[in-house]
A and B are shown apart, each in its own frame.
Chain A
């Protein structure tokens, strides 16, 4: 009898633990999730009675009365989840919110899913997310599996170093040094193929690279400059972005299920017509970071 009771307690506790961790993963799905305060100062309005002919993704959203958006949560000023205030912020997240609003979904009807870079295509193909906004570079290989709306932002490979370190202008100057980026990412592959003299380190998360930079394990972190600026802004005492020219050009797009042309042209139109809103979001999230970017022209392929 005593055993039964013990098991029941353990069972209850594990169910509770599961429920709790489930909440943490999905982000604020309920009305008091904390995201609501953000809607107040957003420069767009939630559309009403939206219809979108021939979009299976939109039909699915309406059926479940909720939109599921894939985002990043470890990139300050782009896609960031603050564990303390439980609020999501950043340029990418706001673009995602703007799109949701244009489809008639309020903040409390949005479910965010944090998905790591390596799993993005699969998440879209599986239908785990309706669309993905998170420093997602458009390239031809990805276009084989999914579709892209946009681009909504253009950046390129830059370098992050310790404050007071050399202000590198090109990768050649890093010969013999150690550079870090995310496992398998385009920047690290660029270095491996074109600059064999540079040593590389690869971690799953950029934040691990930034930690390695701070404790001297690596000499520089490289990836899209927009991401690096976010980290530099978080710790301006210790980190700085070099002023050298960007080493590549990356166009960020919104990842969509392949073949959903109706949804893609809807978002492309939204970006094309919403120049003012784009500018407002940019100023709010990235304005004081020092970079100035014009809204890129949408490439409606």
Chain B
């Protein structure tokens, strides 16, 4: 118990930073993912090409390398100085966006072609076909895989620890190296694992609720 109550201040910042990276990365991933997903099914060949290239390049790069590029490579390019936390959020957001886009594309494929054709027939432009007719239906059918992507995102936040974001995974090093903080590395690791299990369970509960609420009767 000492490992928790003796280091309450650290746990506070660590959980806060983990949630910040998760929320920030998630927001970027969702917005960018929707855009890229739409690009991949758009009628414009250039948009399709850009979308495909983006997904294939970023998705096939290990997350650590994406982090390396943003946190260590970006400043070397002489671009405006951003904090490591912001750079980390951008890195994880851009990486996860590819998965969101692909999950969404799978969802779009489940929407019957007639829906899009009917929307086009009444004169809606591509943007409205997507946002009013296709995407709402696509979202409903991809709740479980989308939530898996976000659970993976949550766990991927631990990689940010190596890149100057003092989140949960950085706790062990901090407590471990400090002469006067209680707790052995093993205890810290177990507690960190427990926090992640709780967070993932919360996400699973959210998934369950959304699935129930948005169920499509076919």
Contact = CB atoms under 8 A, between A and B. Distances in A.
B107 to A, nearest CB: 33
Contacts of A183: 161-162, 164, 166, 170, 173-174
Interface residues of B, number: 25
Contact of B176 (A121, A140, A202, A208): A121
Nearest to A139: B179
Output the residue of B173, B175, B184 with the most chain A CB within 10 A. Answer: B173
A184 B178 contact: yes
A185 interface: yes
Interface string B150-186: 0000000000011110100011111111111100111
Contacts of B172: 118, 184
A175 B167 CA distance: 24
B75 A118 contact: no
B29 to A, nearest CB: 24
B173 A216 contact: no
Interface of B is mostly: helix
Contacts, number: 68
Given A117-B173, A184-B171, A186-B179, 8 more contacts: A121-B184, A141-B181, A183-B164, A183-B170, A184-B174, A186-B178, A212-B75, A215-B75
A205 B201 CA distance: 33
B192 to A, nearest CB: 13
A38 to B, nearest CB: 31
A217 interface: yes
A215 B75 CA distance: 7
Contacts of A140: 179
A156 to B, nearest CB: 15
Interface in A176-204: 180, 182-186, 189, 201-204
Interface of A: 117-119, 121-122, 139-141, 145, 180, 182-186, 189, 201-204, 208, 211-212, 215-217
A208 B72 contact: yes
Contacts of A203: 162-164
A117 B84 CA distance: 22
B177 A186 contact: yes
A208 B67 CA distance: 12
B179 A118 contact: no
B113 interface: no
B190 to A, nearest CB: 13
A118 B171 CA distance: 10
30 contacts: A118-B172, A118-B176, A118-B177, A121-B176, A121-B184, A121-B185, A122-B185, A141-B178, A141-B179, A145-B184, A180-B164, A183-B164, A183-B173, A184-B170, A184-B175, A184-B178, A189-B178, A201-B164, A202-B166, A202-B170, A203-B162, A203-B164, A204-B162, A211-B72, A211-B76, A212-B75, A215-B72, A216-B75, A216-B81, A217-B81
Nearest to B162: A204
A217 B75 contact: yes
A23 B172 CA distance: 29
A118 B180 contact: no
9 shortest A-B CB distances, which residue pairs? A184-B173, A184-B174, A215-B76, A217-B75, A118-B173, A204-B162, A139-B179, A183-B173, A201-B164
Given A201-B84, A203-B162, A184 B76 contact: no
Interface string B64-86: 00000000100110000100100
B180 A141 contact: yes
B79 to A, nearest CB: 11
Contacts of A208: 72
A208 B73 CA distance: 11
A39 to B, nearest CB: 34
